[in-house]
Amino acid sequence: MNLRGVGVSPGIGHGPSYVLTVSVPEPPEGATYTGEAEQEKERAMTALTRVAGELEARGNQAGGEAEEILKAQALMAEDPGLVVKVRTLIDRGLAAPRAVFEAFTKYRDVLAGSGGYLGERAADLGDIRDRVIALLYGQAIPALPSRPAEPYVLVARDLAPADTALLSREHVVAFVTEEGGPTSHTAIMARAMGVPAVVACPGATGIPPGVQVMVDGTSGDVRVEPAESDVADAVGAATARQAVLASWTGPGATADGHPVPLLANVGSPADLDAAVAAGAEGVGLYRTEFLFLDRAEPPSAEEQRQAYDAALEAFPGGKVVVRTLDAGADKPLAFLPAPTEPNPALGERGLRTFRKFPEVMDAQLGALAEVAGAGLQVMAPMVATAEEAAWFARECREKGLADVGVMIEVPAAALRARDLLARVNFVSIGTNDLSQYAFGADRQLGAVSTLHDPWQPALLDLVAMAAQAAARVGKPCGVCGEAAADPALACVLAGLGVTSLSMAPSALAAVRAGLAAHTLEQCRTAAGAARAQPSAADARAAARVHLPGLGRLGL
């Protein structure tokens, strides 16, 4: 069986498949909700319908016996008796996840007690229940083997940051997910771990557990039970290419010496070693929310201080850009209660959350102020207006943090970069969210992943606007979104006037080699050619014509 998805983290990974099934904790007994009962019922019904739809769709894809089973499961999810029970429990004051839990568990136990065919369906009911609850909670919590017999290829519908944060490179040789796009957190974490990954891969969760799988994170090919000789050939070619790339060392620069500092994206002190080993010149994005994803309590100032200090120590003389907590939407933090919103990505997230919880902000900025030195820069996520930039800069400077920046992640910020730059020392473009908001396409949704192609000319235009605004006032404008990790696009970004590039450490070697193989003029020409095109595919092809060194490097 061969599957095809979007390759988001390069390299070849192979091993037995581990297919992640959903397992969620029991919602607290007596959990209640705030707001209207009707709204809560609506939430539950939407989740039930969505789970039923997904099961059915997976059945259609799988065909055969699996189709029948999945369709039967889909029917169970919308069983009228269960639906009435869930509604009644919500009317009695129970929150939707608890109501679903109680209604389904009761029916499951009745089925289990009846034995035979019906008894076997009890497990299905438990599975549906967990899927619905996971959906209501906004994420699935996987049960991964803590000590696998051998490293495995992790196959899942999708992976939330909290899931992947617990994974170790020793155990996982590749990721394959059905959902997720190039900027989803599965992709980001895979790159951070240096593990090959393919996302938006239809049919992935239909891969039988335990069979050998080979994942090509460059082409997006996923081969189930490949011939041994094919695995050996693919691994050999990838190793040879890696050796060529590793021969390029030193600070990032074009062939004619135009410096483009190459920095690392990190999410924990553990990532720092990989960043140093890969020759990063500093940290361009410290995703501090990743430090605290699994916390029920806000982290103490001391704990934070130590984490930031470790980054500064890893790069003496270099710069470290720490992003303040980017909570909400795709990165929910347990200790910051998320509002119930119909569209969390458009709601109180990023800087907006920070404004709402001043005590959390004070603790973080206070911890940063304690370690502040020459290399420390602080920036805020999800800034949309000059007023927000001014507010953040004031808060930082009052605490003694002098070098302040903002991320450009929403089109409004790119369009008015000039106004933002008047308030801060630098900007850094987050192309992942900038794509999400420019194209109105959820970055976590596989179905819209083509809109997240970072070669989309409209995205390049927004980057160009911000870079030009920064150049006019002589301030830095970096890129720290996943776009920077593509060696061809990195050249184009440099050509657009971006002053530094920050990426997962595993991407640094290829980007360094790609830049060093071209002059700034070639990069500018490639950027102009890309922007002149009407589509992402055309932009990519047009740029490559002017970047002949990439082919020679096997990139």
CA 74 to CA 54: how far, in whole Å? 8
The SS3 assignment for 459 reads helix
Annotated catalytic residue 185: yes
- Select the residue interacting with Mg ion from 178, 403, 433, 486 (CB under 5 A): 433
Interface with Mg ion, residue 430, by CB under 5 A: yes
Choosing among Mg ion, ligand PEP, none, which partner's interface includes residue 406 (Cβ < 5 to 8 Å by kind)? none
Instruction: Report residue 165: phi and psi, to 5°.
Output: -60, -25
Interface with ligand PEP, residue 432, by CB under 6 A: yes
Choosing among Mg ion, ligand PEP, none, which partner's interface includes residue 223 (Cβ < 5 to 8 Å by kind)? none
Residue 407's nearest CA partner among 382, 432, 438, 425 is 382
Helices assigned H by DSSP within 184-252: 185-193, 228-246
- Select the residue interacting with ligand PEP from 431, 444, 449, 533 (CB under 6 A): 431
Annotated catalytic residue 480: yes
The SS3 assignment for 354 reads helix
Interface with ligand PEP, residue 481, by CB under 6 A: yes
Interface with Mg ion, residue 442, by CB under 5 A: no
CA distances from 185 to 355, 424, 488 (A): 24, 28, 22
CA 172 to CA 153: how far, in whole Å? 6
486 bridge partner residues: none
Choosing among ligand PEP, Mg ion, none, which partner's interface includes residue 287 (Cβ < 5 to 8 Å by kind)? ligand PEP
Choose the stretch contacting Mg ion; rule: CB under 5 A; options: 41-49, 306-314, 425-433, 463-471. 425-433
- Select the residue interacting with ligand PEP from 223, 287, 349, 399 (CB under 6 A): 287
Judged by CB under 6 A, how many residues of this single chain contact ligand PEP? 11
CA 396 to CA 390: how far, in whole Å? 10
530 bridge partner residues: none
Q: Smaller CB distance to Mg ion: residue 319 or 331?
A: 331
> 201, 396, 477, 480: which is the annotated catalytic residue?
480
Residue 75's nearest CA partner among 95, 53, 91, 44 is 53
Q: Smaller CB distance to ligand PEP: residue 74 or 379?
A: 379
CA distances from 213 to 2, 146, 177, 435 (A): 10, 20, 13, 32
Q: Are the beta carbons of 183 and 207 closer than 8 angstroms? A: no
Q: Are the beta carbons of 307 and 282 closer than 8 angstroms? A: no
Interface with ligand PEP, residue 205, by CB under 6 A: no
Shortest gap between Cβ of 326 and ligand PEP (angstroms)? 6
Q: Which two tokens stand for residue 255?
A: 């062939």
Choose the stretch contacting ligand PEP; rule: CB under 6 A; options: 236-244, 254-262, 424-432, 447-455. 424-432
- Write the binding mask 384 to 413 for Mg ion: x where contact by CB under 5 A, - elsewhere: -------------------------x----
Q: Smaller CB distance to Mg ion: residue 124 or 271?
A: 271
> 171, 185, 452, 518: which is the annotated catalytic residue?
185
Active site residues: 185, 480
Task: Give me the residues that bind Mg ion (CB under 5 A), please.
Answer: 409, 430, 433
